[in-house]
Amino acid sequence: MEHLLSVWPTIIEKIQNARQVLFLSDFDGTLTPIVEKPELADLSEPTRSLLRELTSQRHFSVGIISGRALVDLKEKVNIKGIVYAGNHGFEIEGPGLKFVNPIVDEMKPFFRVIRQVLFMTAGTIKGVLVEDKGITLSVHYRQVDEEKAEYVQNLVERAISGPASRGMFRMTSGKKVYEVRPKVNWDKGKAIRLLMKKYGRGGWNSGLLPFYVGDDITDEDGFQMIEKYGNGVTIHVGEQYKSSSARYFLKSPDEVRIFLGRLLDFKKRGHLCEQYSTTSSPTGPQLPSL
């Protein structure tokens, strides 16, 4: 895994050879820092401005793919003209696009039962937040005492044990969160494939260059989909992580913002600015603040 900013000429060459760029990103931990409570996450105005400007560039499409509910994601990002994929891609909206996975309506009665059980069990533990996202649930335990973390996991597993025994729901884990979602062949990777088909008709020969930026386990499906496509840029946010399928990494949401600034600069000027020239530093070049 290489630090993206230290191999910037490679990224520029990819963009120069592309007919269309599809920039996709996770939200929490990628565009914004991880916070104790989901409602506290705040997209900075510099990052929002960069995304908005990128959206206006010719042959450039932007999308945000998140585990958040679609309504919540749209409210947090608040940029017109981009693609929003909520609930890990179970619901997607964008210019000329509206998609809801058909399994959602079938699962709703069972989902309501699981939601009620989790609110009555895990939801009563100090520090646990049960987040109802309409068609998925998140059980956050970042503020729970360490010795109770396993107990929270057991409660979630128990809550889905009935429907899960019939293959209806599954639990996945992330950064201090357990996700409950329908157990169907759908994830962020499948959502990305749907978007790649829309924006890159003709497959690999379409000239589409997809980017995906993410920080968590659920983003690995997205990385794997783009790596399978064979012509894209996958970026893990955090320290270098050997187990990730991503090819590049950025250390933090701040470096993601710097990367977005470089991307916009190139799209506007068509060439690298002298002030953004790279160095041979293994941790990336020294960059001006944006």
Catalytic position from the list 26, 72, 216, 219: 26
CB 144 within 8 A of CB 128: yes
Q: What is the mean pLDDT of the chain?
A: 86
**Best CA proximity match to 236, nearest among 253, 210, 228:** 253
- Integer angstrom CA distances of residue 143 from 65, 123, 130, 176, 288: 25, 13, 12, 9, 35
CA geometry: angle 268, 273, 274, nearest 5 deg: 170
pLDDT at 166: 67
183, 128 in Cβ contact below 8 A?
no
Q: Tell me what pLDDT residue 113 has.
A: 86
Q: Which of 87, 86, 85 is nearest to 22 (CA)?
A: 85
Three-class secondary structure of residue 198 per DSSP: helix
Q: Answer whether residue 202 shows pLDDT above 60.
A: no
pLDDT tens-digit profile of 217-255?
889 999 999 999 888 999 999 987 778 999 999 999 999
**Catalytic site includes residue 26:** yes
Local confidence band at 196 (pLDDT 50, 70, 90 cut-offs) = very high
CA-based nearest residue to 139, from 154, 41, 188, 72 = 154
pLDDT at residue 94 tops 70: yes
Domains of the chain: 2-101+186-276 (3.40.50.1000), 103-182 (3.30.70.1020)
Average pLDDT over residues 86-104: 90
Q: Supply the pLDDT for residue 164.
A: 59
DSSP assignment letter at 232: -
Tokens of 69: 């509910």
Q: Between residues 281 and 131, which one has the greater pLDDT?
A: 131
pTM of the model: 0.79
